[in-house]
């Protein structure tokens, strides 16, 4: 089906301070000029969060009241992806929408609905990447051992089954909200984990994990109740840190899909959570507007190389620092194959390595790559 058939356009937005362009024709000559796409999503039937189907309208209403992002950009609102007669049809509609939008090579921001939808778009989000990665900003590790059910609380097994090469990164997890088995599953697969306490003590630690991902999935339930009453999570991220994580996602040169989910208007108080959801989305858009024109070719003159020795490794370890964005990357050797994988790192990681300490997140990736 065409985008015209898959989407319901936005109608009757009385306020548009953000300068967002509402799309109704869905013609190629219109879409090709976009800098970013936003798309509402309505499915919540495969979840324990009935009411999230109404999220897109509430978030959009709050988003349009915000003013424009830092740098001028053309944000195209495609409306809402049509709800299918069945859950599977809704997933298929979303997958088809993303497939057609990917040809434009611009970031796509999906908002509303529930989080398991990330499985429907992963094929296109990873877009034939050699080393794909997905980052979840989520209070709960959505994996369960005692059921084969697929839902918004148990989709990680399916994602891993369908994309076994994908690196799963988890930010802002709260140990008491997930089973011990869920954390063991992450550990057994050598996936990256940054707990809530670490994130709230220094949110910049989340940046390298987010920067490695082509898909960033943001669960609004990761934000604490006092800032996000609809989330009903007593503990969680501070609202400003949630917005910072979204900005990191937008700024990342690798991110092409941002999914904001699990906001439920029926639990909201004075539309506080709708406003916060819109601000999270706004920060992702602002990050996109601030992106640097990085080549991502680590051999060109825009990257400064630094080599360090370590007794654990037979070869020197190469660090790269972008002279454009100042971000740092590290080259991880893959056994004796001669291949390498370059992953984002924090400046403190570099300093630790200089002092002989190998950061644990690197070690998980060393071990994971050895199994591929």
According to the model, what pLDDT value does residue 338 have? 61
Q: What is the pTM of this model?
A: 0.96
Distances in Å between the alpha carbon of 195 and those of 125, 170, 206, 296, 319?
25, 8, 10, 29, 26
Cα 181 to Cα 351: distance, rounded to the nearest angstrom: 33
Query: Do 200 and 240 form a contact (C-beta atoms < 8 A)?
Result: no
Burial 137-154 (b: 16+ CB within 10 A, else e): bbbbbbbbeeeeeebbbb
According to the model, what pLDDT value does residue 195 have? 97
Cα 310 to Cα 359: distance, rounded to the nearest angstrom: 13
Query: Do 336 and 194 form a contact (C-beta atoms < 8 A)?
Result: no
3-state secondary structure of 237: strand
Query: What is the domain partition of the chain in residue ranges?
Result: 3-289, 303-371
Instruction: Give Dmax over CA atoms of the chain in angstroms.
Output: 64
- The torsion defined by the Cα of 258, 13, 97 and 151, in degrees rounded to 10, comes to 60
Cα 45 to Cα 48: distance, rounded to the nearest angstrom: 8
Cα 73 to Cα 64: distance, rounded to the nearest angstrom: 15
According to the model, what pLDDT value does residue 335 have? 64
Pairing mode of beta strands 75-81, 36-40: parallel
Query: Do 136 and 196 form a contact (C-beta atoms < 8 A)?
Result: no
Query: Do 29 and 234 form a contact (C-beta atoms < 8 A)?
Result: no
Cα 185 off chain centre by: 21
Cα 152 to Cα 6: distance, rounded to the nearest angstrom: 23
pLDDT tens sequence for the chain (372 residues): 999 999 999 987 778 988 999 998 899 988 999 999 999 999 999 999 999 999 999 999 999 999 999 999 999 999 999 999 999 999 999 999 999 999 999 999 999 999 999 999 999 999 888 899 999 999 999 998 876 789 999 999 999 999 999 999 999 999 999 999 999 999 999 999 999 999 999 999 999 999 999 999 999 999 999 999 999 999 999 999 999 999 999 999 999 999 999 999 999 999 999 999 999 999 999 999 999 988 889 999 999 999 998 888 888 899 999 999 999 999 987 765 567 889 999 999 999 999 989 888 888 998 998 888
According to the model, what pLDDT value does residue 76 have? 96
Which sign, positive or negative, has the C-alpha torsion 143, 146, 148, 150? negative
Cα 59 to Cα 285: distance, rounded to the nearest angstrom: 14
Distances in Å between the alpha carbon of 237 and those of 173, 241, 272, 330?
10, 6, 15, 28
The tokens describing 34, both together, are 């976009």
Helices 87-101 and 118-126 cross at an angle (nearest 10°) of 20
Cα 168 to Cα 143: distance, rounded to the nearest angstrom: 12
According to the model, what pLDDT value does residue 336 have? 57
Helix or strand holding residue 307 (H, E): strand 303-308
Q: Domain 3-289 adopts which CATH fold? A: 3.40.800
Neighbours of 359 (CB within 10 A): 17
According to the model, what pLDDT value does residue 14 have? 77
């Amino acid at each position: 089906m065409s985008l015209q058939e898959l989407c319901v356009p936005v109608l009757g937005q009385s306020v548009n301070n953000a300068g967002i362009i509402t799309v109704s024709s869905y013609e190629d000559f219109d879409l090709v000029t976009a800098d970013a796409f936003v798309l509402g999503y309505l499915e919540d039937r495969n979840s324990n969060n009935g009411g999230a189907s109404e999220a897109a309208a509430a978030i959009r209403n709050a988003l349009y009241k915000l003013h424009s992002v830092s740098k001028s950009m053309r944000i195209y609102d495609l409306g809402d992806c049509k709800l299918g007669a069945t859950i599977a049809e809704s997933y298929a509609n979303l997958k088809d929408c993303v497939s057609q939008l990917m040809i434009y090579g611009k970031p796509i921001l999906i908002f509303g609905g529930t989080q398991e939808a990330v499985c429907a778009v992963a094929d296109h989000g990873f877009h034939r990447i050699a080393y794909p990665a997905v980052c979840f900003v989520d209070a709960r590790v959505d994996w369960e051992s005692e059921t084969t059910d697929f839902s918004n609380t148990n989709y990680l097994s399916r994602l891993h089954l369908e994309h076994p090469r994908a690196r799963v990164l988890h930010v802002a997890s709260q140990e008491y909200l997930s089973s011990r088995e869920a954390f063991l599953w992450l550990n057994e697969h050598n996936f990256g984990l940054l707990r809530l306490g670490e994130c709230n003590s220094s949110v910049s630690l989340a940046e390298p994990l987010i920067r490695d991902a082509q898909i960033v999935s943001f669960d609004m339930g990761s934000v604490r109740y006092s800032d996000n009453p609809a989330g009903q999570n007593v503990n969680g991220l501070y609202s400003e840190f949630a917005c910072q994580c979204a900005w990191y996602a937008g700024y990342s040169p690798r991110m092409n899909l941002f999914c904001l989910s699990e906001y439920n208007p029926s639990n909201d108080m004075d539309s506080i959570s709708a406003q916060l959801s819109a601000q999270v989305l706004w920060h992702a858009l602002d990050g996109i507007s601030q992106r640097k024109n990085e080549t991502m070719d680590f051999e060109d003159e825009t990257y400064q190389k630094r080599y360090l020795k370590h007794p654990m490794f037979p070869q020197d370890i190469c660090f790269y620092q972008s002279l454009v964005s100042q971000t740092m990357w590290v080259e991880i050797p893959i056994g004796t194959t001669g291949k390498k994988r370059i992953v984002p790192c924090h400046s403190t990681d570099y300093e630790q390595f200089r002092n002989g300490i190998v950061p644990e997140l690197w070690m998980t990736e060393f071990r994971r790559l050895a199994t591929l």
